[in-house]
Amino acid sequence: MTTLALPSAVAALPAIGRLAVNTNQCSFVVPSVDRQPCFRIELTRKTDHVLRLRFIGQGEQKGQGRSLTFVALNPEQPVPILCDQGQCEVSAMRWQGSIVGVAEAFTTPLGIADGLPKAWPAQGRCLFEQRALTCTAEINTKEVFSAKGRL
């Protein structure tokens, strides 16, 4: 008699998802541009230990959007949000992750990508403490990207 191994009919869904918060306590700095305000922060749980942090604000032209995104990881500590079926909530009061990449992107007034995003490998850190976020990263040209905000 041969026994077949079949995957479980009720396989666990990965605990990924996004927490998006509109805020008036948010700003970011990109090279060659002064600190500019942002109005939205998105935390996306990619895995148990990888978090994408996106700061969204206005672009340089009227109606244009600009976002600054950091990808951070901490293999020793789970990300500070828990997700169920894509819906997430804050689960920790403190988290720190090492930044592995940073990206800048623009959108048109209709929310459509305006050109290709720029992305770089980066080194730095993001700190989440008492619902406040701070990220600072340096790319290989020594240019520094930073953002801060409160959920």
Structure tokens at 89: 């909530």
Question: Which contacts of 106-114 are long-range, i.e. CB under 8 A and separated by 24 or more positions?
Answer: 106/59, 106/64, 106/65, 106/66, 106/67, 107/59, 107/64, 107/65, 107/66, 107/67, 108/63, 108/64, 108/65, 109/62, 109/63, 109/64, 109/65, 111/65, 114/59, 114/64
- Tens digit of pLDDT for each residue in 25-78? 999 999 988 889 999 999 999 999 999 999 999 887 788 899 999 999 999 999
Structural domains in the chain plus CATH codes = 17-150 (2.40.160)
Q: Does residue 139 surpass a pLDDT of 90?
A: yes
Structure tokens at 126: 């993001």
- For residue 43, list its beta bridge partners: 19, 53
Which pLDDT score, from 0 to 100, does residue 109 have?
87
Report which of residues 95 and 84 the model is more confident about. Answer: 95
Q: Global pTM?
A: 0.88
Query: Cβ(136)–Cβ(127) under 8 Å?
Result: no
Question: Lowest-pLDDT range, 11-15, 52-56, 84-88, 135-139?
Answer: 11-15
Q: What is the mean pLDDT of residues 109-126?
A: 93
